[in-house]
């Protein structure tokens, strides 16, 4: 048993977290791996039902992996510029909410701007963005100003708010027609001339979620992460 102290670092910390705090899926499968085939998940090819399954899994993993962390642990940052677990989740909450609003608008009011009417381009942009945000991509990106997390302490209800959002999102997706999701073109809430299908937007959410969940997992197994 590990000695109870304010900080546990090194291999002991990583072993303790991997065996206790992380769900089985976190321990056995690298980010971006497919559960069923044990091969890299190809986010650009996910069906609407598969995206919904990924998002439900993300919510369950977040609750299991981070639900028992206290406010101090959730807000602990590995470096002055590195994000805490809470910041990773808040970033996803904000970005996902903006994406969902844009997707819903595209389904309700299709092809109402010049950018949405451009042929081929939405498909190319959607494919490129999904690949860029996959958890296996090594390149780092600066978060859009609209979705940057707070630099102040974030409440310890962040995990439950994240889980609740994903529950609402998967319920909403049940009402979305697969063909409509493929055909409706949404506008990026971050760059107005960037467009892609609603389905690609949802695929992007799934890939982006997994990318930052992997980042949050690295925080809690890193040196210096505080014990309870």
Looking at residue 14, its pLDDT comes to: 45
What are the tens digits of pLDDT across the range 80-121? 999 999 999 999 999 999 999 999 999 998 766 666 667 678
> With pLDDT > 90 as the criterion, what percentage of the chain qualifies?
66
Cα–Cα distance for residue pair 46/173, rounded to 1 Å: 14
Residue 32 in this model has a pLDDT that exceeds 70? no
186 φ/ψ angles, rounded to the nearest 5 degrees: -100, 160
- Measured distance CA(62)–CA(93) in Å, rounded: 12
Query: For residue 82, what pLDDT is reported?
Result: 95
Q: Are 227 and 4 in contact (CB under 8 A)?
A: yes
pLDDT for the residue 1: 32
Output the average pLDDT for the chain: 84
| Distance between CA atoms of residues 206 and 214, nearest Å | 12
Q: How far is Cα of residue 70 from the mean position of the Cα atoms in its chain?
A: 21
C-alpha pair distances (Å), 64 with each of 23, 47, 184: 6, 26, 35
Q: How far is CA 96 from CA 16, 55, 207, 208, in A?
A: 32, 11, 11, 9
* Lowest mean pLDDT segment, chosen from 46-50, 112-116, 204-208, 224-228: 112-116
pLDDT for the residue numbered 9:
45
pLDDT at 115: 63
Q: What is the pLDDT of residue 10?
A: 45
Domains and CATH numbers, the chain: 10-220 (1.20.120.450)
Mean per-residue pLDDT for 141-156?
89
Give the pLDDT of residue 111: 65
pTM over 0.85: no
The rounded distance, in Å, linking the Cα atoms of 207 and 101 is 18
State mean pLDDT over 182-211.
Answer: 94
């Amino acid at each position: 048993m590990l000695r109870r102290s304010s900080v546990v670092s090194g291999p002991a910390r990583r072993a303790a977290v991997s065996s206790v705090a992380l769900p089985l899926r976190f321990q056995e499968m690298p980010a971006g791996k497919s559960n069923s085939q044990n091969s890299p998940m190809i986010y650009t090819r996910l069906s609407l039902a598969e995206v919904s399954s990924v998002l439900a899994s993300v919510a369950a993993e977040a609750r299991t992996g981070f639900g028992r962390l206290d406010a101090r642990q959730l807000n602990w940052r590995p470096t002055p510029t590195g994000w805490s677990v809470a910041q990773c989740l808040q970033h996803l909450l904000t970005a996902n909410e903006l994406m969902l609003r844009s997707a819903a608008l595209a389904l309700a009011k299709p092809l109402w701007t010049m950018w949405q009417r451009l042929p081929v381009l939405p498909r190319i942009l959607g494919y490129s963005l999904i690949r860029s945000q996959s958890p296996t991509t090594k390149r780092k990106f600066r978060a859009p100003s609209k979705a940057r997390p707070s630099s102040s302490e974030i409440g310890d209800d962040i995990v439950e708010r994240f889980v609740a959002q994903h529950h609402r999102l998967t319920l909403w997706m049940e009402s979305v027609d697969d063909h409509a999701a493929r055909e409706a073109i949404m506008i990026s809430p971050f760059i107005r001339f960037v467009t892609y299908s609603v389905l690609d937007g949802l695929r992007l959410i799934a890939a982006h979620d997994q990318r930052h969940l992997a980042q949050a997992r690295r925080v809690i197994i890193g040196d210096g992460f505080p014990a309870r």
